Structure 1
């Protein structure tokens, strides 16, 4: 493989060898169902995921939280399997199964031995297509989700994260909580969730990705058999749903400062700015920037905040990306009495890279860290399965390890400085949770020219 491989929606079949002689195959069925696999030499297990490109950003006001609600409900049983039957199917073979709801997609997945992979296809297909969403189960699960939200609200890091995204993203749908809130969960109706289910779980929405020990042709046959048995029309031609439009959308800051007072021992601080979309060619540069600033024990933030001053136990940077937007953020947890000092350090180290750049040694170390982490992550079939899903749903192309390392190797110190300068010129938002008040952050959210 030389360079990234494009995934056109109208290409029925595609196959190629990726790093380590992994065979990647992609089939787009006439019904619009897309099936991607990565056969890994020497593997004895596989991870499979059933994806739809529908997340919390796609919900209507009357259905906030319904995507996550539906994710729960698909485990509650079908016409042919009870919730216990689904659980036993995987527990009985030592497998794992779960699901994840994100801002732009939902995925139901399982990890099993190679001998049990076709069983996993059958069970996941049944869950995905044929959930009955029994009214009693619906009400029971409403209570479960309210408890999940309550648990998250008791976790100050979760609360800080939610306030941070609201502050940075403003009224953009990406700023909303994935799980909704207690009021929307109490208000949502079974009919609304059912409409959401029927509108978004169709052949042209479904992407199946599998990585590990597998036979692509057998998976395609098993998937078609299971989907047809569920009553899906696989004979009528349909084009897969279009990917979201790429490129950076305009983000209007929700607030410069969001402080939530809590009588807890530690203050949690997040600060950051709108950043890069998933398809922005500067993503490798942002990864290097994040690594240098807050990506490990040798990073600037770890050294300045923890090692030299002992102000925090946890301090790091992060850079989630979406189809048309992204965020770059810095986190630290510290004593409420040291909040101002820590927040100033986070901001000053961020700005210092934009003003002064990075050293050759920092650049080399960051590339080494990211290269090694990428290679180690691919030892796990879960990571490979997720990479296939993200490639299909968001990126529209597949970059193997060699291509990813090539892109990383092309990052320059000048590129890191220029990107940091760009990001530090954007409106900064700060979110904090703890025994603190707004006065402790006075002036920190101001633009560089006013600082």
Structure 2
């Protein structure tokens, strides 16, 4: 016990050392050595003879990110093989011809890396995060997953339970459900295919079905290899050695055919979700920019996190028509050969008709020319800010570079995008609003639909 007391006293004396000399001059902190300046880099894009696109941006980050983009989304599913992309998304960690499922999991864990797979209606996106010095160690996993899947029957069969869970979650989410219904109603083919496996196909998709889809679509000419925080020469070498081997054009896919229509899901939900859309514009066109500005002008959501959207035209117009709570935003979905623009409202069942009518009236007001220069300038500033904020995130930046280069073989810098937005005139936005008012519409709704108008009543 005494020894412990002595140690305690010693520690206190060490902490309370006396000052030797008075402090008469201010303390001067030593200046840190100047950081090495590194020149800013631009996105570099190369296209190999096979059609494979390689794009990179050197960010000097200690963590790198690479992704393989494939034109193999659900729109490319043939009628007899629908739902296959849903299983491909879940099968990213299964055994391949080069590495086992166990090795993929443990190997990436040992390196502190992570592999993720996402799918859209047009793309399958495989992305890998890793320490920049580990490129040679992690690249084999990404290459095996994208180019050498094996799809063993017993592993594919185990995916059925996960497919059912995904479907159940999507069905419970009102927003996801109504968006799926909107695409089914709007298009005759291609883009009408769901992101989720149809119920009648659950448990019936085999490894042979998946292998057939991969063989038809995973071609070099339909791929882009994109990297952040990697040198372009190293990434190009990876592409030439591992991805530039699958020759051919692959399945071209059908052009999306918009025809409009209606899908209604009647249930006992207290809120009614409604989407009203017209055919929008192809991605990357001037018309798509006009629709994006119209979206900002009408209201694309609150500008303050967890805030309200009271300053939007939609909210101001609807607030005059009903005292019931509601939410209303405009949306703009652009694809490679089509698009959907419209209004998304959430309201009580008793006030749905009034909310939709007031929202449609706001678009008609814009179509009549009611746009001030101040409103247009604010919409442009919001749209440019939204684009730049997407690029601040490595995932958003990788996706932006990948999708642009995959379809056009080039990348538009933020400055070029800003110039394109500034070039849109008020007349362009008015014409976009007129197109919505005058063209054939699509309606998808979910909830207690007793007071929800039909599409022919709009």
Structure 2 unpaired stretches of 5+: 1-38, 302-308
State the Cα distance separating 1:98 from its structure 2 match.
1.1
Per the alignment, residue 28 of structure 1 pairs with 47
Q: Deviations over 1:371-401 (max 9, x none)?
A: 1222222222222211222112234432110
| 8 Å contact from structure 1 (residues 62, 184) kept in 2 | no
Tell me which residue corresponds to 1:336. Answer: 349
Q: Is the contact made by 2:223 and 2:406 (CA closer than 8 Å) also made in structure 1?
A: no
Q: Paired residues, what number?
A: 412
- The equivalent of 2:441 in structure 1 is 428
Match for residue 75 of structure 2? 57
Matched, 1:390 2:390: no
The residue number in structure 1 matching 2:259 is 252
Alignment of 1:109-128 (within 5 A): 109-128=127-146
Q: What is the 5 A alignment of 1:67-86?
A: 67-86=85-104
**Correspondence for 2:189:** 172
Greater Cα radius of gyration, structure 1 or 2: 2
Structure with the larger RCO, 1 or 2 (CA within 8 Å, 6+ apart): 1
Q: Deviations over 1:106-162 (max 9, x none)?
A: 111122332334444321111111222111111111221122112211222222111
Distance 1:299 1:30 in 2: 49
Q: SS of the residue aligned with 1:282? A: helix
1:280 aligns with 2:299: no
Deviations along 1:220-246, whole A, 9 cap, x unmatched?
Answer: 22344455xxxx747xxx576698899
- Determine helix, strand or coil for the equivalent of 1:320: strand
**Aligned match of 1:9:** none
Report how far residue 78 of structure 1 moved. 1.7
Which residue number corresponds to residue 120 of structure 2?
A: 102
Query: Residues 219 and 250 of structure 2 are in contact (CA less than 8 Å); yes or no, is this contact kept in structure 1?
Result: no
Unmatched runs of 5 consecutive residues or more in structure 1: 1-19
Task: Using the TM superposition, give the Cα deviation of residue 261 of structure 1 relative to its aligned residue in structure 2, in angstroms.
Answer: 1.0
Contact 1:52 1:107 in 2 (8 A): yes
More divergent stretch after superposition (319-328 vs 90-99)? 90-99
What is the CA–CA distance in structure 2 between the aligned matches of 1:30 and 1:397, rounded to whole Å?
A: 16
RMSD value, Cα: 2.6
Shift of 1:94: 4.1
- Residue 7 of structure 1 corresponds to none
Cα pair 2:216 2:250 within 8 Å, conserved? no
Aligned equivalents of 1:321 and 1:48: distance in 2? 24
Show the counterpart of 1:38.
57
Relative to structure 1, the CA distance from residue 306 to residue 111 in structure 2 (aligned partners, 3 Å threshold; closer, same or farther) is: farther
Distance in 2, Cα, partners of 1:430 & 1:361: 32
Task: Work out which of the residue numbers 237, 240, 243 in structure 2 matches 1:221.
Answer: 237
Distance, in Å, in 1 between the alignment partners of 2:251 and 2:210 is 23
Look up the SS of the partner of 2:97 in the other structure.
coil
Q: 2:370 aligns with which of 354, 357, 363?
A: 357
Aligned-pair CA distance for 1:64: 0.4
Q: More deviation in 315-324 or 90-99?
A: 90-99
Match for residue 345 of structure 1? 358
1:357/1:414 contact within 8 Å kept: no
How far apart are the structure 2 equivalents of 1:126 and 1:97? 12
Q: Which of residues 221, 241, 248 in structure 2 aligns to 1:204? A: 221
Q: Name the SS of the counterpart of 1:292 in structure 2.
A: helix
Cα distance in 2, alignment partners of residues 365 and 242 from structure 1: 43
* Residue 298 (structure 2) aligns with: 293
Q: Please name the residue that 1:270 is paired with.
A: 275
TM-score (norm: length of structure 2): 0.82
Shift of 1:29: 2.9
1:70 is paired with a residue whose SS is helix
Q: CA deviation at 1:318?
A: 1.2
2:441 matches 1:441: no
| TM-score, normalised by the number of residues in structure 1 | 0.83
Summarize deviations over 1:249-280 as a string: whole Å, max 9, x none: 65212x2x432111122111111111111143
Q: Distance in 2 between matches of 1:306 and 1:121?
A: 54
Question: Are the structure 2 counterparts of residues 397 and 273 from structure 1 closer, same or farther at C-alpha, using a change threshold of 3 Å?
Answer: same
| Change beyond 3 A, Cα 1:330–1:180 | same
Q: Residues 317 and 128 of structure 1: is their aligned pair in 2 closer, same or farther, counting only changes over 3 Å?
A: same
